Amino acid sequence: EADIYQTPRYLVIGTGKKITLECSQTMGHDKMYWYQQDPGMELHLIHYSYGVNSTEKGDLSSESTVSRIRTEHFPLTLESARPSHTSQYLCASSEQGTGANVLTFGAGSRLTVL
Amino acid sequence: GDSVTQMEGPVTLSEEAFLTINCTYTATGYPSLFWYVQYPGEGLQLLLKATKADDKGSNKGFEATYRKETTSFHLEKGSVQVSDSAVYFCALRRSNSGYALNFGKGTSLLVTP
The pLDDT value recorded for residue B8 is 87
Q: What is the mean pLDDT of chain B?
A: 94
| Cβ within 8 Å, pair A100-B49 | yes
Chain A environment of B106 (Cβ under 8 Å): 41-43
Positions of chain B with pLDDT lower than 50, given as ranges: none
Q: How far is CA B42 from CA A88, A99, A109, B31, in A?
A: 10, 26, 9, 26
| Cβ within 8 Å, pair A100-B45 | no
Name the residue among A45, A56, A105 with its Cβ closest to that of B43. Answer: A105
Chain B environment of A21 (Cβ under 8 Å): none
Tell which A residues from 46 to 65 touch B, by Cβ distance under 8 Å.
Answer: 48-50, 56, 58-59
Name the residue among A6, A33, A102 with its Cβ closest to that of B98. Answer: A33
The pLDDT value recorded for residue B99 is 83
CA atoms within 13 A on the CB side of A59: 19
Q: Does B14 touch chain A (CB under 8 A)?
A: no
What is the tens place of the pLDDT at every residue in A53-64? 999 999 887 889
The pLDDT value recorded for residue A98 is 57
| Cβ within 8 Å, pair A102-B43 | no
Omega of the bond leading into A8 within 30 degrees of 0 (cis): yes
The pLDDT value recorded for residue A95 is 81
What is the tens place of the pLDDT at every residue in A68-97? 999 999 999 999 999 999 999 999 999 866
SS3 for chain A, per residue?
CCCEEEECCEEEECCCCCEEEEEEECCCCCEEEEEEECCCCCEEEEEEECCCCCCEECCCCCCCEECCCECCECCEEECCCCHHHCEEEEEEEECCCCCCCCCEECCCEEEEEC
